[in-house]
Structures are given as structure tokens and as C-alpha cells.
Amino acid sequence: MYKRFTPVDWISGSNIYEINVRQYTPEGTFNAFAGHLPRLRDMGIEVLWFMPITPISKAVRQGSLGSYYACSDYTAINPEFGTLNDFKKTVQKAHELGFKVIIDWVANHTGWDHVWTKTHPEYYKRNEAGEFYDSNGWHDVIDLNFYDHHLRRDMIAAMKFWIEKCGIDGFRCDMAHLVPLDFWRQARTELDAIKPLYWLAETDDLTYLEVFDSWYTWRWMSATEKYMKLEKTMADLLHILDIYTHQVPPHVLPAWFTTNHDENSWNGTEYEKYGGAAKTLAVFSCTYKGLPLIYSGQEMPNRKRLKFFDKDPIEWSRHLELHEFYQTLLRLRRQHPALQSAEAPEIISVAADEPVLAFTRRSGDRQLIVVLNLSPNEVIVKLPSQYVKNELKDIFDGTKISPSSSVIPPLKSWDYKVFVD
């Protein structure tokens, strides 16, 4: 029986904001990004996730600047973003404002001219011809060989570098399931001994949750996209939620998202994929059990696909249309005990003529009810009376429901309500 890792206490009720440094500002630097920290804190952001900050390989580089995920040195800074001291100062300023900081860690592969290709070529997988290779169709990277125990030692040492030099608070582990689970177990055991860290896995492989605190709900994201194309039904969505509820340890928090760096660049913006349902699904991400992942620019909102390998900065508007929308939801997450509860939400079966997802969350005698109209049509929803014990009020427009009046005024297409006590 392996050791059960204990999540850091600050992650409950929190949220994560993904930072694409290259595209965040015209300058594309840590120093330029740091100017946005007060605004993000006001919005309610608590955890900052920096996409890879290490230098990018020049060999087999894609585009003019290359992929952030083709690392050439695990213990150096991408000069495009600034210096190591610039990053340390950004982390320090973030900590002073109350943020936690995690960094993207790409352990499965490196770029073709990573320093290890010269100093430790034995750290890499080889094909029958004795050549480095990639097994996932990513032409600008090559696979590492985790059967080599010296590689494991040096990889953990590189992760330790960022904890000790910059004071980071955790890791988002890229394509975690491509790396042996026992490596992550070893890494977490050694690194958590330095300071308690938060570990987020980019995977939907539930076997990896033995080690990680959170994981990507790729299955849910894919199903909701197919739902919008009429390729999935409400029953399909509820089935996935049921799997997550019954197959995941209660202390592990799913990470919900409607977009991220991959989705935005390769599959389309959240508005291309979800249209009017983008905000509705954002409400779900912020109120269902787990953590919302918010990508750079969603608070504007950003309706532009950002280039992945070239400079293509976010075109910030003066008025951030969704700043208050996210602020309302993120403050609620921190203030309402039901949104910090380890208990699974209870799905509510409602009387409605259109697909409606409704659920309640409780903590002691505190309660909230979320109602999402997942259709393009107006719908009237009646909540079963046993779920409405007290008067509840919607956090957005003040609509009230009570034990004597549990019929919700007509919900417009893709509308949402978050009723709190």
C-alpha cells in the first residue's frame, strides 16, 4: 500500500489562472505581466500557473519562436521572457499579493538540442537505428527514458531548483500519464519534503490520482463540445459526472475548463466551440466540486485563436466584460462553505421541457443550488420542494426562490442561476 499524499490546505475553494507569458502583453515578459497582478487579485484569482518558462530548443523549431514545450535546459529561463531574477521578482510580488505560483513541468520529452543530448545521451529513448525519437507525433521533441535512474535523479534535482531558487508552490505536470507513475511518486515524496506543494496532472487517467491533487477533466470537456454539436446528450454528461464522483478519491479535485493554451490555439476559442453556452459552462466550472482553470484573456473575453509558435499578443480591451462575472463566482468560492466541501454535489432531477443541469451543494446547514439551461430555448424550471429548505437568492440578478415558490422565472437560452442562502 503506497503512501497517501495530503493536499495543501490552500487549494480547497481556490482557482487557477493559466499565464501565457509570450502572448499576455506586447512585450511578452515577466515584468510586463507583473503589472496585471493587482487586477487579477481583484478578480479573485488565487493560483498563477505559468506555462513553461524554460528556454526553447532551436533545433527542429516550429514557427519563429518554437513551442514552449520543447525545452532545451530545465534549469534556465527563456530569454524571451526575461531573466531568472525577473521571474524571482515576479514570484515574490505574487506572493506578497497573496497568490500561489505553480509552473508547467514537461517531464516526458525535451527539445532536440537539450543540454542532456550532449552531456547525457543515455537519458533518451532510441529507435532501432540508435536515433532519438518521439513516439507521440510531436516532431520538435524527443522522448526521455525513465528506466534510467540517473535521469530520474537529475529530473528531480531540476524541479528542486525552482522550489529553492524561486519559491514556487507546485507543478502542473504536462502529459503526466506518459511518464511512469512511480517517477511521480518518487518526485513528490522527495520534493514535498522541502515544502508542501500542489500537484496538477494533465491527464484523465484516474490511476494517476494516487499521486496528484488534481487532474484534467478532458472527458468532460470533450463531451460538452460534442453536446453542442448534438453528438452527446444530457444523459452522456451525467454519466461522466457519475464516473468522476464514484471513481475518484474524495480528496482529489477535478480541474474544469472550457479553454486552455491547446484548445484555444488548435481547436478554437471557447466561443467557437460553445457559443452562448461558454459562460454557462464557466459557471459550472466555478461551482461544481473541483477547481476552475481560467486561461489568459477569458476575463475579456478573448475571442481570438492565439498562435502557438509565433508572437500573437492578446488584444486587451479597456473594459474587461467578464471581470465582474468571474469576480462574483470566485469570491463565492472562497466565501461559501458548500463550495469548499469535499462532499459530492447532488444532481437534482427537475421538471423542464429542455435539457437543464441542476445540482445542489451543502456544508452543514449551508446550501446553494445551481441551475444551468443547456439549451438554446427559453425554459421554465420547477425545483422539487425538498431541495429548497430556505429562501435562496441568485448571486447575479437577485432572483429569489423559497419553499413556497420554487418555480424559477423563465430561463433564457443558455441562462444560469446560482442560488445561495
Give, for 142, the enclosing helix (H) or strand (E).
strand 141-143
Q: Are residues 283 and 372 in the same domain?
A: no
Domain boundary among 287, 315, 335: 335
Q: What is the CATH number of the domain that holds 415?
A: 2.60.40.1180
Q: Answer whether residue 24 is part of any domain.
A: yes
Q: Answer whether residue 363 is part of any domain.
A: yes
Instruction: Grade residue 4 by pLDDT with cuts at 50, 70 and 90.
Output: confident
Q: What is the CATH number of the domain that holds 202?
A: 3.20.20.80
Candidates 245, 255, 250, 418; CA nearest to 341 is 250
Q: Answer whether residue 1 is part of any domain.
A: no
pLDDT number for residue 388 = 93
pLDDT number for residue 352 = 86
Average pLDDT across the chain, whole number = 96
Q: Are residues 250 and 199 in the same domain?
A: yes
pLDDT number for residue 2 = 55
Report, as an integer, the average pLDDT of 207-236.
Answer: 96
Q: Are residues 351 and 280 in the same domain?
A: no
pLDDT digits (tens, 9 = 90+) for 350-371: 988 899 999 999 999 999 999 9
Instruction: Give the 3-state secondary structure of residue 330.
Output: helix
Check residue 261 and report its DSSP letter.
H
Placement of cell 515524496 in the chain: 189
In b/e form, how buried is each residue of 80-118, taking b as 16+ CB within 10 angstroms?
Answer: bbbeeebbebbbeebeeeebbbbbbbbbbbbbbbbebbe
**CA 407 – CA 293 distance, rounded (Å):** 32
Report, as an integer, the average pLDDT of 48-58.
Answer: 98
Q: Residue 416: which domain range?
A: 346-420
Domain boundary among 304, 335, 366: 335
Judge whether 322 and 259 are in contact, CB under 8 Å. no
CA 128, distance to chain mean position in Å, is 38
Candidates 331, 401, 404; CA nearest to 370 is 401
Instruction: Grade residue 1 by pLDDT with cuts at 50, 70 and 90.
Output: very low
Q: Are residues 130 and 209 in the same domain?
A: yes
Instruction: Grade residue 389 by pLDDT with cuts at 50, 70 and 90.
Output: confident
